[in-house]
Amino acid sequence: AIWLYILFMHFGQTTFSFMGLNVFLAWLPIVFAQLFMQLRSSWRWIFVPLWLLFFPNIPYLMTDLFHLASLRIYQPGGHFLMDTNGWWSYLFLVLPIVLMVFIGMAQVFKLFSAIKLRLVQKFGSLLILSVLSSIAVYIGRFDRIHSIELLVHPLSVFKLLVGNWDVGKLQFVLMFSILQLGIWGLIYFLKQDQQEE
């Protein structure tokens, strides 16, 4: 289903054709985490840094929601147009974002359990992961840097990660960290609620 979506968005959808690549990049950490959890060989640990490298592509998808502003289905004054092409574009943008974000972020709990982290370690890891991925989302969105560039130009990307701090960047990282922690909190609450049933 993922490949069908990627191919369709790349070749058959003009409004949000970029979503094919973005969903593919967000799908990679899900695959890497799954491989780590399924394999029993010591080689499986190679997938952890790969997962960490590509994980920010999952929360990055949430910034793509701003592209909804390009659709003509909403008009000033709170009026909506029954433009079926616009609403299909809405579906093709929103559905994969919701699915990939919740699948990818829920999988983090499974990955931490597979690594056998204690509760305090899990909380600390979520905090660190939320901050690191928020910084990565910032440089991805505003400096236009892709995950793969960390392998190609590691020094340049590292400078962007640790440098060029200002009030705006600090606020963005804080807000996006809170957003991710909020989603993890919701996922944890739903898991606990399901266990009680």
Strands (E), the chain: 74-75, 79-80
Q: Which of 2-6, 17-21, 98-102, 159-163 has the highest mean pLDDT?
A: 98-102
Is the pLDDT at 51 greater than 90, yes or no? yes
pLDDT at 121: 93
> Residues 6 or more apart from 113 whose CB is under 8 A from it?
none
Domain residue spans in the chain?
Answer: 2-196
pLDDT in tens, 111-141: 999 988 888 999 999 999 999 999 999 988 9
Strand partners, 79: 75
Least confident of 30-39, 59-68, 69-78, 106-115: 69-78
Is the pLDDT at 161 greater than 90, yes or no? no
> Residues 6 or more apart from 121 whose CB is under 8 A from it?
112
> Residues 6 or more apart from 39 whose CB is under 8 A from it?
47
pLDDT at 96: 92
Mean pLDDT (whole number) for 89-109: 94
Q: CA dist 9 to 54, 57, 69, 82, 112, Å?
A: 21, 17, 18, 22, 33
> Distance (Å, rounded) from C-alpha 193 to C-alpha 148?
38
Nearest to 179 by CA among 65, 71, 67, 68: 65
Task: Report yes or no: 109 and 188 within 8 Å, Cβ to Cβ.
Answer: yes
pLDDT at 197: 61
Is the pLDDT at 186 greater than 80, yes or no? yes
pLDDT at 134: 96
> Distance (Å, rounded) from C-alpha 108 to C-alpha 38?
15
pLDDT at 83: 83
pLDDT at 17: 80
With H, G, I as helix, E, B as strand and everything else as coil, classify residue 72. Answer: coil
Higher pLDDT, 48 or 152: 48
Query: What's the whole-model pTM score?
Result: 0.88
pLDDT at 64: 93
Strand partners, 80: 74
Is the pLDDT at 194 greater than 80, yes or no? no
